[in-house]
């Protein structure tokens, strides 16, 4: 029952390759002139709900919404108790009458999909267990800034391939025409459904999507090397078991040296130095992690602008 004409950004492949390129162009333009475009003038309200911890996402959405002339309304997920105190569909219908867009960080993707069905306004995924598409727009913008291209580049993601970041790199990277290689321990590889979804997109963009357990093979010759925490939010109870299984997948200087000499290192943060990444890599000259963090603002302003002004369903 999602209202006709309303578009959402729930997963990376909600954007076609052309639309993704358009949003990245828009992000680039907004970065050059951050205070010029005011598509949220009014100010129109954007509801931001966090059911999990946040730093970058809250800060970058709040700053970006303000720059677009809008008002960022923070809704405390713990107080709202979405799905506990009230159903997702009731919350959606209430917030949809107050806000022009709903931005939600939550657990299961199905919760976000239900919000989108009932809200009557665009809904944006600010991270779920399954996907982190706003991070990927920022990451692709960052790669484009450093490499002047996306299509044809090889990106290696080393770590928890079954996480939101692994899944999103598969879908967004394939959409951008990149060759996405995921290296994860057995049991932590992305779902076959996501890999097939990415491969289908890659077949139309000239990219590819491959997964395996060999981190060295994945990183060798890569243009971009990505990792992420081994313990995503919600998995804290598995911390000890995961630390042991993932140890051989740490992005050490030795592993990073297998990539192209001018490769860039990426991490969405928060990072745990000495665990999934060596301090020498994270803080080294080839790291672009602070650009990624900044680019969240520009990329999210672009997707909000696109959903409000350009998108049609």
- Please state the closest distance from residue 303 (CB atom) to ligand NVA, in A: 17
Tell me, by CB under 6 A, how many residues bind ligand NVA.
10
| Binding string, residues 257-296; x marks residues near ligand NVA by CB under 6 A | -----------x----------------------------
- Please state the closest distance from residue 234 (CB atom) to ligand NVA, in A: 7
- Please state the closest distance from residue 56 (CB atom) to ligand NVA, in A: 7
Contact set for ligand NVA, span 149-188 (CB under 6 A)? 163-165
Across 136-161, b (16+ Cβ under 10 Å) vs e yields bbbbbbbbbebbeebeebbbbbbbbb
Report yes or no: 115 and 104 within 8 Å, Cβ to Cβ: yes
Q: Which of 8, 44, 105, 197 is catalytic?
A: 105
- Please state the closest distance from residue 175 (CB atom) to ligand NVA, in A: 20
Cα-based angle 90, 122, 4 (whole degrees, multiple of 5) = 90
| Binding string, residues 204-243; x marks residues near ligand NVA by CB under 6 A | ------------------------xx--xx----------
| Binding string, residues 98-137; x marks residues near ligand NVA by CB under 6 A | -----------------------------x----x-----
**Torsion angle of alpha carbons 23, 18, 264, 284, nearest 10°?**
10
Report yes or no: 64 and 70 within 8 Å, Cβ to Cβ: no
Active site residue 268: yes
Active site residue 132: yes
Chain centroid to CA 275: how far?
21
Q: How far apart are CA 46 and CA 70, in angstroms?
A: 7
Active site residue 134: no
Handedness of CA 9, 14, 19, 25 (dihedral sign): positive
Active site residue 97: no
Structure tokens at 41: 């003038």
Q: Which is nearer to ligand NVA, 162 or 311 (CB)?
A: 162
Q: Which is nearer to ligand NVA, 132 or 275 (CB)?
A: 132
For residue 198, is the peptide bond before it cis, meaning its omega torsion is within 30 degrees of 0?
A: no
Report yes or no: 19 and 306 within 8 Å, Cβ to Cβ: yes
For the chain, list the strands marked E by DSSP: 45-50, 71-76, 101-105, 123-125, 154-158, 179-183, 208-212, 224-227, 264-267
Report yes or no: 225 and 218 within 8 Å, Cβ to Cβ: no
User: Among residues 57, 4, 98, 50, which one has the least CA distance to residue 268?
Assistant: 57
Contact set for ligand NVA, span 37-96 (CB under 6 A)? none
Q: Which of 51, 135, 144, 197 is catalytic?
A: 135
Q: Which is nearer to ligand NVA, 132 or 181 (CB)?
A: 132
Contact set for ligand NVA, span 9-38 (CB under 6 A)? none
Q: Which of 44, 144, 296, 298 is catalytic?
A: 296
Binding site for ligand NVA (CB under 6 A): 127, 132, 163-165, 228-229, 232-233, 268
Residues marked as catalytic: 105, 132, 135, 228, 268, 296
């Amino acid at each position: 029952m999602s209202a006709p004409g309303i578009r959402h950004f729930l997963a990376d492949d909600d954007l076609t390759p052309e639309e993704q390129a358009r949003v990245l162009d828009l992000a680039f333009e907004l970065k050059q002139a951050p205070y010029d475009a005011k598509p949220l003038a009014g100010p129109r309200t954007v509801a931001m709900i966090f059911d999990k911890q946040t730093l970058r996402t809250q800060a970058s959405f709040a700053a970006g919404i303000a720059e677009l002339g809008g008002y960022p309304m923070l809704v405390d997920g713990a107080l709202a108790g979405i799905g506990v105190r009230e159903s997702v569909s009731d919350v959606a219908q209430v917030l949809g009458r107050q806000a022009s867009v709903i931005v939600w960080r939550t657990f299961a993707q199905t919760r976000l999909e239900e919000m989108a069905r009932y809200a009557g306004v665009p809904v944006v995924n600010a991270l779920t267990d399954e996907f982190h598409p706003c991070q990927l727009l920022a990451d692709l913008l960052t790669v484009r800034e450093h490499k002047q291209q996306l299509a044809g580049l090889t990106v290696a993601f080393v770590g928890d391939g079954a996480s939101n970041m692994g899944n999103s790199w598969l879908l967004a990277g394939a959409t951008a025409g990149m060759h996405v290689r995921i290296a994860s321990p057995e049991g932590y590889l992305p779902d076959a459904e996501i890999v097939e979804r990415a491969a289908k997109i890659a077949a139309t963009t000239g990219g590819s999507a491959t997964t395996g357990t060999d981190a060295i093979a994945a990183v060798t010759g890569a243009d971009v090397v990505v990792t992420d925490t081994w313990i995503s939010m919600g998995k804290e109870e598995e911390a000890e078991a995961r630390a042991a299984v993932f140890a051989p997948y740490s992005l050490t200087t030795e592993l990073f040296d297998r990539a192209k000499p001018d490769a860039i290192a990426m991490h969405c943060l928060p990072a745990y130095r000495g665990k999934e990444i060596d301090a020498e890599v994270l803080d080294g000259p080839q790291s672009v992690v602070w650009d990624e963090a900044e680019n969240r603002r520009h990329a999210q302003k672009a997707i909000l602008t696109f959903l409000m002004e350009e998108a049609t369903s």
